[in-house]
Chains A and B, each alone.
Chain A
Amino acid sequence: DADVTQTPRNRITKTGKRIMLECSQTKGHDRMYWYRQDPGLGLRLIYYSFDVKDINKGEISDGYSVSRQAQAKFSLSLESAIPNQTALYFCATSDGSGTYNEQFFGPGTRLTVL
């Protein structure tokens, strides 16, 4: 079984709809992250959480919100989706110790907003 799972893997929605992307992990890590990737570009950090009570904005948080329901679950919401939020979304985890910058990524969710 995958250590970091994301649901759904693909989603097509319409402008103005609310949508939630979910991430679960079995690695026991405290730290979780949401990134988006646009074609030909690197990943940009949306939100990150260092523990259940900690939520921080990343580079591009406008139009997004998150919820850390438990150590293992971190959800990303688009309150009112717009076409330029069409992208590949990745969830990642890290344990915050040892190798500082080592993150473990999920398989990604491909979101299309029409």
Chain B
Amino acid sequence: LAKTTQPISMDSYEGQEVNITCSHNNIATNDYITWYQQFPSQGPRFIIQGYKTKVTNEVASLFIPADRKSSTLSLPRVSLSDTAVYYCLVGLMEYGNKLVFGAGTILRVKS
């Protein structure tokens, strides 16, 4: 299993860009990098997924360097409603038990 390391918590202010970095030194060739968001007492929600370089969707961007040993989730212009836990996952769900949710990063957005 690819182990991930991400900061325990981060603070930001409304309107700022937030970057959360995840380390995954032993990522396997077939592994994808996936980020989820979780609000209190709710199930996680898929944000974005990538394999290499850069992926962008309507809510976030994901930057993956060439060696794929780390990745950065970028949230543009955060608001108070972006306060949540963000999980970095590395794996491939084709083999179910290879997808592991770590402790995640608690992002607190302040006004």
Contact = CB atoms under 8 A, between A and B. Distances in A.
Contacts of B104: 42
Interface in B84-111: 87, 89, 91-94, 96-97, 99-104
A33 B49 contact: no
Contacts of B45: 105
Contacts, number: 70
A58 B97 contact: yes
A114 interface: no
Contacts of A35: 101
A56 B93 CA distance: 13
Summarize B's interface: helix, strand, loop or mixed.
loop
Given A100-B92, A100-B94, A43 B44 contact: yes
Contact of A101 (B41, B92, B97, B103): B92
B40 to A, nearest CB: 10
Interface string A10-50: 00000000000000000000010101000011111100101
A76 interface: no
Given A90-B43, A102-B34, 14 more contacts: A33-B96, A40-B103, A44-B101, A45-B99, A50-B96, A59-B97, A59-B100, A96-B93, A101-B32, A101-B91, A102-B46, A106-B43, A108-B41, A108-B43
Interface of A: 4, 31, 33, 35, 40-45, 48, 50, 56-59, 88, 90, 92, 94, 96, 99-108, 110
Pairs of residues from A and B, 7 with the lowest C-beta to C-beta distance, nearest first: A105-B43, A42-B101, A101-B34, A43-B101, A48-B96, A102-B46, A101-B93
